[in-house]
Structures are given as structure tokens and as C-alpha cells.
Amino acid sequence: MFLMGRTEAGKTSLTQALKGEELHYEKTQYTNISDDMIDSPGEYAESKYFSLGLACFSFEADVVAIVQAADEPFNLFGQCLHTFILRPLIGVITKTDSSNANIPMIRLWMENAGCERIFEVNNRTGEGIQELLDYLSEDPEPLTLEQAKYRQSLGLNEWDPLPGGYPEYIRTSGS
């Protein structure tokens, strides 16, 4: 999973919570590609010069996550962000325990960006983390080239539900 979001949004803490670790503050100085996570520094999302780099990292991931704290003061992500990301885009709202939390507003920002799933987590207590882990452990359906091309012809992503299933000629030539 690739994590992007402003400084202090809780990206590194989220990686710790997903591993069941106690939170320990560590400012991200460069993009960490370790284990199953790509953890970027918030400055990438905050600068128009660096933000292009985020698009490149997204190609290395199975899932791209926008991470925003529940008490985030402003939104860094534009509308329909998902249209140039060739992976499922999800939103993770951290700091749900904040006294200044405004979760409906953050959800709206994430929906506008095109997030197909939105998770609410508290990295301190681990609340909501299991739901995210369950989502991440779902295996995508393997596709044949024919099946991928058919989905593409309908304008669908490879992971989108397929209304009506495949036509007979694809089912027989596939698998």
C-alpha cells in the first residue's frame, strides 16, 4: 500500500499500527519502501514540485491510500484524483480520537478525490485497523489478457465489478 498525505497526517503511525506496534514518532525524511508499505514524507504532497513524484510511486503499489487526519485543517487533494491512478484509491482517516475531528468533512474530501473505500482509524488504540487489514488481505481476481482487454473496452478498471459477467467467447478462451 502506498501512503500519501500531509506532514503529521499519521502515515508512519499507520504503518506502525498495522504491524501492531506501539506508536513511536519518527519524522519521515525520504520515501521508505520497506515491507509492504511505501511511506512518503508529507512534504511531497505539500509541494507542487514534488507531488509529481507521488504519481510515480503509485505505479509501484497494489493500493494507493490518501491519509488525512480527522482534524486536518485543509485539503491538499484535488477532485477526481483517481482518474490518473491505475490502482484502487482508498482513503484512511486517522486521529478519529481528536477533539477537533470533523470526519464528515474529511469523508467528503475523500469521496471527491474518488476514493472507493474510506477507513476510519485511531492509530493510538488500533480502532478500525482490523477492517483495513481485512480489506488489504483480499486477493484480487487474477485476469487473463482477454479478460483485461474486455474490461478495458467497457471503460472498467480491472478490479471493478463486472455487470453481466464475461461473454461466452472470453470465458472459454480464458483460464
Ligand X SMILES: Nc1nc2c(ncn2[C@@H]2O[C@H](COP(=O)(O)OP(=O)(O)OP(=O)(O)O)[C@@H](O)[C@H]2O)c(=O)[nH]1
Minimum gap (Å) between residue 10 Cβ and Mg ion: 8
Q: Are 24 and 84 in contact (CB under 8 A)?
A: no
158 binding ligand X? (CB under 6 A): no
Interaction of residue 10 with ligand X, rule CB under 6 A: yes
Q: Name the strand (E) or helix (H) holding 150.
A: helix 145-153
Q: Taking each helix axis from N to C terminus, what angle separates 129-136 and 11-18, rounded to the nearest 10 degrees?
A: 80
Judge whether 160 and 154 are in contact, CB under 8 Å: no
Say whether residue 94 binds ligand X (CB under 6 A). Answer: yes
State which of residues 3, 9, 12, 122 lies at the interface with Mg ion (CB under 5 A).
12
Record the cell numbers describing residue 51, joined without a space. Answer: 507531488
Residues 3 and 67: beta-carbon distance below 8 Å: yes
Residue 68 interacts, among Mg ion, ligand X, none and using kind-specific CB cut-offs from 5 to 8 Å, with none
Q: Please identify, using beta-carbon distances, which residue of 12 and 58 lies nearer to Mg ion.
A: 12
Q: Which of residues 13-72 bind ligand X (CB under 6 A)?
A: 13, 23, 25, 27-28, 41-42
Q: Which of 38, 72, 92, 95 binds ligand X (CB under 6 A)?
A: 95
128 belongs to the binding site for ligand X (CB under 6 A): no
According to DSSP, residue 50 is labeled T
**Residue 13 CB: number of other CB atoms within 10 A?**
23
| CB distance 162 to 151 below 8 Å | yes
What is the smallest separation between the CB atom of 75 and ligand X, expressed in angstroms?
15
Binding site for ligand X (CB under 6 A): 5, 7-13, 23, 25, 27-28, 41-42, 94-95, 97-98, 122-124
Binding site for Mg ion (CB under 5 A): 11-12, 28
